[in-house]
Amino acid sequence: MIDKDKYEKHLSNTLAEVNAVSPSFCVAKWKQVTMHLHNGHTHSCHHPGTHLVPLEEIKRNPSALHNTEYKKELRKQMLEGKRPTECDYCWKVEDAGNAKSDRIYKSADPSWAYPHIQDLATRPWDDNVDPSYVEVSFSSVCNFKCSYCSPHISTKWMEEIERHGAYPTSTKFNNLEWIKIKEQMPIPNNQPNPYMEAFWKWWPTMYKELKQFRITGGEPLLSKDTFKVLDYIIANPNPNLVFSVNTNLNPPNELFEKFIEKLKIIQENKCVERLQIFTSAEAHGKQAEYIRNGLDYAMWLTNIERIINEVPHATVSIMSTYNIMSILSFKEFLADILHLRLKYRNTALLNHRTPIAIDIPYLRWPEHQTPYLITKDFLPYIEEQIKFMEDHIETGHVDFSNAYKGFHDHEIYKLKRIHKVILAELATPNTNINTNRKDFTLFVDEHDKRRGTNFLETFPQFANLYAEWKML
Name the domain count of the chain: 2
The pLDDT of residue 396 is 54
Do the domain assignments include residue 257? Answer: yes
Do the domain assignments include residue 466? Answer: yes
The domain boundary residue, chosen from 118, 136, 154: 136
| Whether 155 and 128 share a structural domain | no
| Whether 321 and 382 share a structural domain | yes
Mean pLDDT (the chain) is: 92
| Whether 120 and 236 share a structural domain | no
**Which residue type sits at 155?**
T
| Whether 150 and 25 share a structural domain | no
The pLDDT of residue 342 is 86
| Whether 57 and 175 share a structural domain | no
- Torsion of the alpha carbons at 346, 108, 102 and 85, rounded to the nearest 10: -160
Q: pLDDT band at residue 350, thresholds of 50, 70 and 90?
A: very low
CA within 13 Å, CB half, 327? 26
- Identify whether the C-beta of residue 380 lies closer than 8 Å to the C-beta of residue 423: no
The pLDDT of residue 321 is 97
| Whether 44 and 174 share a structural domain | no
| DSSP type of residue 273 | E
The domain boundary residue, chosen from 136, 169, 199: 136
Do the domain assignments include residue 112? Answer: yes
Rounded to the nearest angstrom, the gap between the alpha carbon of residue 81 and the centroid of all alpha carbons in its chain is 26
Backbone φ and ψ for 434, nearest 5 degrees, come out as: -70, -35
| Whether 124 and 158 share a structural domain | no
Instruction: Summarize the confidence of residues 33-43 as an average pLDDT.
Output: 95
Do the domain assignments include residue 319? Answer: yes
| Whether 263 and 120 share a structural domain | no
The domain boundary residue, chosen from 79, 106, 136: 136
The reported pTM is 0.84
Helix (H, G, I), strand (E, B) or coil at 315: strand
Backbone φ and ψ for 375, nearest 5 degrees, come out as: -95, 170
The pLDDT of residue 351 is 47
| Whether 179 and 226 share a structural domain | yes
Do the domain assignments include residue 199? Answer: no
Do the domain assignments include residue 211? Answer: no
Distance between start and end Cα atoms, the chain: 52
Do the domain assignments include residue 54? Answer: yes
| Whether 160 and 58 share a structural domain | no
Do the domain assignments include residue 50? Answer: yes
Q: pLDDT band at residue 278, thresholds of 50, 70 and 90?
A: very high
Instruction: Summarize the confidence of residues 176-182 as an average pLDDT.
Output: 92
| Whether 75 and 164 share a structural domain | no
pLDDT digits (tens, 9 = 90+) for 40-80: 999 999 899 899 999 999 999 999 999 999 999 999 999 99
Helix (H, G, I), strand (E, B) or coil at 240: strand
| Whether 258 and 346 share a structural domain | yes
Structural domain containing residue 51:
4-136
CA within 13 Å, CB half, 272? 29
Rounded to the nearest angstrom, the gap between the alpha carbon of residue 30 and the centroid of all alpha carbons in its chain is 18
The pLDDT of residue 81 is 96
